[in-house]
Chain A
Amino acid sequence: MYVTFRRYSAAMASSKKTSFGVRVLTWIERSWMFIVFFIGFFLVWEWSVTLFDIPRYILTPPSLVVEKGWADLDRLLYYTYITGSETVIGYVAAVVIGLPLGLAIAFSSILRRTVYPFFVCIEMVPKIAFAPLFISWLGFGLLPKVIIVFLVCFFPIVLNAILAFNSLSEELTRFCRSTGAGPVLSFIKVRLPAAMPQCFVGFKYGAINATVGAAIAEFIGSDQGLGFYIQIVTGNMRPDLAFAGIFFLTLLGLALFGIVTLAERMLIPWHISVRRNKT
């Protein structure tokens, strides 16, 4: 039965148009061990809370997290929206500013000798340490959170962009020159596409940092958002709701990372990292 299923899914996977159902089946076939482990993890959690008689104000079983989280869904969704806005605005700003700036630094010897070493130094500073300062300067609103998200995303994005635009192989550089093409044409046809994979390293790294930045900024000072929520309910001895908040924060992070990964697949389907994941 297993063998037949395997053959079936392999045959279907190799035909160009695979239906959604078949793709799910293929995924299950490939990942069933992980799925079993994942479910097992939550079952063990569920049982051990009862088995070891852990007080509910310390740890709640996942079933209770679902139940209580569901009851508080409105608030959770609204706070997801709040934290999500901070995350997305900060992240998009980091991409929109970081990518062209990285490009400028890569091609300007003045910027490379001034701004670049400065950025490398700042990269060593844990950006999150600035969070209390920004909150004290700018208050409890959206802006300080957006700035902190921006800061934690910006440096990986800009540093990887600089690396990306600086590391065109010598052969391709010579190829461009040998055709007599101008800098703009060379950039569009060769430099930019060649730089995309390394740029995406920065985009993905930034996407991972983004929700961390937003949550910590909210811990430090806010009156709404998932970070705020997690802190308040933990103070009220409600780990069930804290886990519900963590769950939504995780979803947020996954969604952002998922979108960036999707963009990567669409923009650079030819790159080895994308190809390897496909097969």
Chain B
Amino acid sequence: MNPLIELTDVAKTFGQGADAVHAFGPVDLTIDDGDFISFLGPSGCGKSTLMLMVAGLLERTSGQIVLGGQPVDGPRTDIGIMFQDNTLVPWRTVRGNIELQLEMRGIDPTSAADRITVLLQSVHLQDFADRFPYELSGGMQQRAAFCQAMVHDPQIMLLDEPLGKLDAMTREQIRTDLQTLWMQQKPTVIFVTHSIEEAVQLSSRVAIITPRPGRVEKIIPIDLPFPRDFEVKNSPEFASYVRDIQEIFRGYGVI
């Protein structure tokens, strides 16, 4: 495995002087090609901050980030990002929103029509391509946002709590879809979440992030077979991973 993303001594402080908020770091972290790594931690610990710094959308206060062999200075366009609040625009249909990603990149969306159709099918939205976001449920909106983030076929995906606001059943469905997709295409995924189960189910490794200022204290490889279906989820090994991580957060006084 070769390292695809390398963080060295990365830290972030918002503001200056007395009002300064030390949000994150310093952190060292290496993410391999094809990894599915979760950033797991309580809200406010700096998960989004870290993800945005990796994407080059937020200036870091110190440290170095190298992504795909090149240092991150400014926004990176060779990745797919799903932001914490979805970026579907209300004046475009689902398909139009997906095309927006391409149009912004100067790509003619008609050339990608088939790809969009396939992408919509893969998240079961093919019948809603011509609907507007307000006509969709929360879960469908997240699926549409996923397509929007992935239509330019990035090899690195950053997903910021993509399932955060969904009900338990919808979450379960989308997790399965996401896992299938990852197993088929093997992109490198950074998955931000505050759900221990979700992190254990989806990840090849879980980065445990401490309460603010966030630090990566431990990285736990999840040594369970994929796909992590119903069987695996009910196995004692799965339960013991969940329990161990709960123990860690209990130690931080978070739960």
Contacts and interface: CB of A to CB of B under 8 A. Distances in A.
A62 B70 CA distance: 80
Interface residues of B, number: 24
A193 B91 contact: yes
Contacts of B77: 178-180
B160 to A, nearest CB: 10
Contacts of A169: 85
A16 interface: no
A178 B57 contact: yes
B134 A275 contact: yes
Nearest to A194: B89
Contacts of A275: 134
A176 interface: yes
B224 interface: no
Interface in A187-202: 189-190, 193-194
Nearest to B91: A270
Contacts of B62: none
Contacts of A6: none
Size category, A interface: 20 to 34
Contacts of A174: 52, 57, 81, 83
21 contacts: A171-B85, A174-B52, A175-B81, A177-B57, A178-B55, A178-B75, A178-B76, A178-B77, A179-B105, A180-B75, A180-B105, A181-B106, A186-B104, A189-B100, A190-B89, A193-B89, A268-B91, A270-B90, A270-B134, A271-B91, A275-B134
Most B CB contacts (10 A, CB to CB) among A180, A185, A186 go to A180
Contacts of B52: 174
Interface of B: 52, 55, 57, 75-77, 79, 81, 83-87, 89-91, 100-101, 103-106, 132, 134
A179 B104 contact: yes
A177 B83 CA distance: 13
A268 B103 CA distance: 20
A172 interface: yes
Q: Main SS of the interface on chain A?
A: helix
B144 to A, nearest CB: 14
B90 A271 contact: yes
A179 B89 contact: no
Contact of A185 (B81, B90, B104): B104
A178 B82 CA distance: 11
Interface in A248-271: 268, 270-271
A226 to B, nearest CB: 39
A175 B83 contact: yes
Contacts of B75: 177-178, 180
A171 B83 contact: yes
A181 B105 contact: yes
Nearest to B101: A179
A183 B77 CA distance: 15
Contacts of A175: 81, 83, 87
Interface in A225-279: 268, 270-272, 275
A171 B104 contact: no
Nearest to B102: A179
Given A189-B104, A268-B91, A178 B85 contact: no
